[in-house]
Amino acid sequence: MTASTVKSENITNIEAVPQTILDKRSGVLQTIFDIDAIATTSVDEIGDIMLFGPIESNCKILDVLILSDDLDSDSALRVDVGLYYSGIGGNQAFNGNTSGEVIDAACFASAHTTLSAAATTWTSVRFEADDIIDVNKEAWEVAGLTSDPGGLFYIGLTVTTAGTSADAGDVVVRVDFINN
């Protein structure tokens, strides 16, 4: 066997005749970060939801990262990380989708431990439950919708195992994305 050279999807598209556009695979990297002071009552029941954002429904999400204080001294707390409607923009209000309505509660991460201990370096949860190739999907596709409703989405952390010794603390969520 002899050594081979293979070319990626971008290179194949660039070298095609006619050239194929690298749709939202190259552009200015945008970041949004959001913060909330979480009360003990927000992590002590299964189904408690913490919402952060916004991001645009048609952006391509490279990373979802979290910093946090320790929100459970017993380290039992688990959260799903997913996408929620905002009710803002596009067809969301027209379709009856209101702020905080779940689209897919666990499209990024499932029963993640991230809030059960302090995280002082960014912890990525982007591909904990999602396939790595979904980085090429727009947010509405990652959330499992069949078409783009437009407008803004929220990132949601939903408690799947309640904190048994819940602590109040800060949570910071950062999303890196391309949308140009």
Partner 1 sequence: MAASTVKSTNITNIEAKPQVINDKRVGNLWAVFDKIVVATTSVDEIDDIILFGPVPSNAVIKDIEVVNDVLDSDGVLAFDIGLYYSGIGGEQFNFDKSSGTEILDNCIGTAVTTLGAANTAWASVRFEAANITSFIQPAWELAGLSADPGGLFWIGLKVTTAATTPVAGDVLITCTYLN
**Does 8 sit near partner 1 (CB under 8 A)?**
yes
Nearest of 138, 139, 116, 114 to residue 128 by alpha carbon? 114
Cβ nearer to partner 1, comparing 121 with 147: 121
Q: Exposed e or buried b for every residue in 2-36, given b needs 16+ CB within 10 A?
A: eeeeeeeeeeeeeeeeeeeeeeeeeeeeeebebee
Cβ nearer to partner 1, comparing 132 with 146: 132
| Cβ atoms of 103 and 145 closer than 8 Å | yes
Q: Which of 48, 56, 72, 128 binds partner 1 (CB under 8 A)?
A: 128
**Does 4 sit near partner 1 (CB under 8 A)?**
yes
**Amino acid letter, residue 110:** S
Q: Which of 10, 95, 98, 164 binds partner 1 (CB under 8 A)?
A: 10
CA dist., res. 118 & res. 96, Å (int): 38
Q: Which of 21, 22, 35, 168 binds partner 1 (CB under 8 A)?
A: 22
**Does 11 sit near partner 1 (CB under 8 A)?**
yes
Q: Which parts of this chain interact with partner 1 (CB under 8 A)?
A: 1-11, 14-15, 22, 25-29, 60, 62-63, 124, 126-128, 132-133, 135-136, 176, 178
